[in-house]
């Protein structure tokens, strides 16, 4: 166990993953950074360095100015449509295809894990390509990318917002249940590309640790989790996740 980006830590983590009975991977905006999608808290480039989340990512903001909030999510939808999954997304899908017992919980709403081929993604903060009515709960597809105003809910006629979890809103019950169960059962918890600051996702690592799991992190920067990690790999997901997969393949050459 150790920290840094030495090949030794990569080899140790690869062995630990190869022996794991259950693996929980938690991803954040950083895994989509190499697809050209801004993160939230990186200085200068992060969304929250340029925009005020209280004006764009809360139910109150949507009630106050639905056109502004809707236009920001429409713009983000366009960014994501123009982006592709990167080698980090593809490496996690490859881990699943190799037969590793991976549960993937993502805080991202961009659907890039699914586009990379990962099946059964747990979307902790919803999905930007769905709409959700916060009055009656009705869910629909994103609809017209050029629409300047949110659509009306066909069930109750309220304005429908994007199908993401805003600050102050509850995590979807099924996603929370799946993530908590995976944290309780896993013997390796791998945090990739998250600042580990936003609850309740940020509490999954401690929950996994309490269940006896080894904690690993992939992030070019240090986070709240780094000092508590058994394996802290300092580097980009698009490089380190494929390196883990090639190590796993060499331990199981029979795998496709």
Just list the catalytic residues.
125
Find the binder of ligand APR among 82, 155, 156, 221 (CB under 6 A). Answer: 221
CB of residue 204 vs ligand APR: minimum separation in angstroms? 12
Single residue of 118, 128, 223, 232 touching ligand APR by CB under 6 A: 223
Question: In this structure, are residues 33 and 193 in contact, taking their beta carbons and an 8 Å threshold?
Answer: yes
- Could you tell me if 194 and 29 are in contact, meaning their C-beta atoms sit under 8 angstroms apart? yes
Residue 23 corresponds to which tokens in the numbers above? 């693996």
Q: Determine, following the binding rule CB under 6 A, whether residue 155 of this chain makes contact with ligand APR.
A: no
Give the integer Cα–Cα distance in Å for 241 and 31: 10
Encoded one letter per residue, x for contact with ligand APR by CB under 6 A and - for no contact, window 179-208 reads --------------xxx-xx----------
User: Using the rule CB under 6 A, is 62 a contact of ligand APR?
Assistant: no
User: Minimum distance between the CB of residue 61 and ligand APR, rounded to whole angstroms?
Assistant: 13
CB of 109 to ligand APR, least distance (A): 7
- Helix, strand, coil shares, percent, the chain, to 5: 40, 15, 45
First to last CA, the chain: 29
Q: Indicate the SS3 state at residue 95.
A: helix
Sequence-separated (6 or more) residues with CB below 8 Å from residue 175 = 105, 122, 123, 124
* Closer CB to ligand APR, 49 or 155, in the complex: 49
> Contact positions toward ligand APR, by CB under 6 A?
28-31, 33-34, 39-42, 46, 107, 125, 193-195, 197-198, 218-221, 223, 236-238
């Amino acid at each position: 166990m150790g920290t840094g980006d030495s090949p030794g830590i990569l080899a140790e983590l690869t062995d630990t993953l190869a022996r794991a009975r259950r693996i929980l991977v938690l991803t954040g905006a950083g895994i989509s950074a190499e697809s050209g999608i801004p993160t939230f808290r990186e200085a200068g480039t992060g969304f929250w360095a340029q925009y005020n989340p209280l004006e764009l990512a809360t139910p109150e903001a949507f009630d106050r100015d639905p056109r502004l909030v809707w236009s920001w999510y429409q713009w983000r939808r366009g960014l994501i449509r123009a982006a592709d999954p990167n080698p980090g997304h593809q490496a996690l899908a490859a881990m699943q295809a190799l037969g590793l017992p991976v549960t993937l919980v993502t805080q991202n709403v961009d659907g890039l894990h699914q586009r990379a081929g990962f099946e059964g993604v747990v979307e902790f903060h919803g999905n930007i390509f769905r709409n959700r009515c916060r009055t009656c709960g009705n869910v629909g597809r994103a609809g017209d990318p050029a629409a300047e105003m949110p659509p009306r809910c066909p069930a109750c006629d309220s304005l429908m917002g994007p199908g993401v979890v805003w600050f102050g809103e509850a995590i979807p019950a099924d996603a929370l249940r799946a993530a908590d169960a995976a944290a309780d059962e896993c013997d390796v918890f791998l945090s990739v590309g998250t600042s580990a600051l936003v609850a309740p996702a940020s509490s999954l690592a401690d929950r996994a640790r309490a269940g006896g799991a080894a904690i690993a992190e992939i992030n070019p920067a240090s986070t709240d989790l780094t000092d508590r990690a058994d394996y802290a790999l300092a580097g980009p997901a698009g490089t380190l996740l494929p390196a883990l997969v090639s190590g796993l393949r060499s331990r199981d050459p029979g795998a496709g």
